[in-house]
């Protein structure tokens, strides 16, 4: 996986976390992962399609998700409910949206899919035949693991795909 695909997600995550959580995150040790399951309680899943295609996962413990959601909502929310689910989906959407803009600036036109929230540790989330690069990001609420599984797909025309996607 090219570093040009990873740096936009690191930059976007730092920018969005600083803006939404008002905190400077710290990056953990990067690692490659081949597992097809998640060890997180809550995972936001977004697709990227275009000159670069694949999946991005934002995983965290339920405690971390509740802390982030409470902060984003602006009030204490002691459980992972529909409000918390929406907040975590939006966090993944904001980071991936900003990263897709940075990818486009680097010459990789792409669009993102709406987020899906997967709840449950041990859930199988396959990224087919390619590895995920896992970027742990630490904040006061806990750790968010950003798993990026992208590959270059130069023959995909973004305009054709996005027209089809928006007409559904």
pLDDT reported for residue 165: 47
Q: What are phi and psi of 90, to 5 degrees?
A: -70, -35
Cβ pair 145, 91 in contact under 8 A? no
For 67-85, what is the mean pLDDT? Answer: 91
Residue 91: CA count within 13 A, CB half-sphere: 34
pLDDT of 17: 96
Distance in angstroms between the alpha carbons of the first and the last residue of the chain: 31
pLDDT of residue 167: 42
Given a cut of 90, whether residue 11 has pLDDT beyond it is yes
Cβ-contact 53, 151 below 8 angstroms: yes
Our measurement of the distance from residue 161's CA atom to the centroid of its chain's CA atoms, rounded to an integer in Å, reads 21
Q: How many CA atoms lie within 13 A of 37 on its CB side?
A: 6
Give the bridge partners for 52, in sequence order.
Answer: 152
Q: Using one digit for the tens of pLDDT, what is the confidence trace for 13-72? A: 999 999 999 999 999 998 888 766 677 899 999 999 999 999 999 999 999 999 999 999
Question: CA-to-CA distance for 144 and 68, rounded, in angstroms?
Answer: 10
Instruction: Indicate if the pLDDT at residue 112 is higher than 70.
Output: yes
Q: What is the DSSP letter of 113?
A: P
More confident residue, 73 or 121: 73
The range of the structural domain enclosing residue 99 comes to 3-166
Structurally, how many domains does the chain consist of?
Answer: 1
Q: What is the pLDDT of residue 163?
A: 44
In CATH, what number is assigned to the domain containing residue 136? 3.40.1550.10
pLDDT single digits (tens) 113-158:
999 999 987 777 766 666 888 999 999 999 999 999 998 888 777 6
pTM (2 d.p.): 0.89
In this structure, is the dihedral angle defined by the CA atoms of residues 164, 165, 167 and 168, taken in order, positive or negative?
A: positive
35-44, 93-102, 156-165: range with highest mean pLDDT: 93-102
């Amino acid at each position: 996986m090219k570093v040009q695909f990873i740096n936009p997600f690191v930059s976007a995550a730092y920018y969005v976390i600083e803006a939404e959580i008002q905190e400077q995150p710290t990056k953990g040790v990067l690692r490659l992962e081949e597992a097809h399951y998640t060890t997180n309680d809550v995972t936001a899943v977004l697709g990227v399609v275009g000159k670069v295609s694949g999946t991005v996962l934002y995983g965290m413990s339920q405690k971390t998700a509740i802390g982030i959601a409470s902060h984003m909502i602006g009030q204490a929310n002691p459980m992972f409910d529909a409000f918390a689910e929406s907040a975590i989906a939006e966090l993944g959407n904001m980071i991936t949206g900003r990263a897709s803009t940075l990818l486009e600036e680097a010459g990789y036109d792409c669009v993102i899919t709406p987020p899906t929230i997967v709840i449950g540790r041990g859930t199988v989330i396959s990224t087919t035949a390619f590895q995920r690069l896992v970027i742990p990001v630490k904040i006061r609420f806990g750790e968010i693991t950003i798993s990026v599984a992208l590959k270059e797909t130069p023959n995909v025309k973004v305009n054709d795909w996005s027209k089809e996607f928006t007409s559904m």
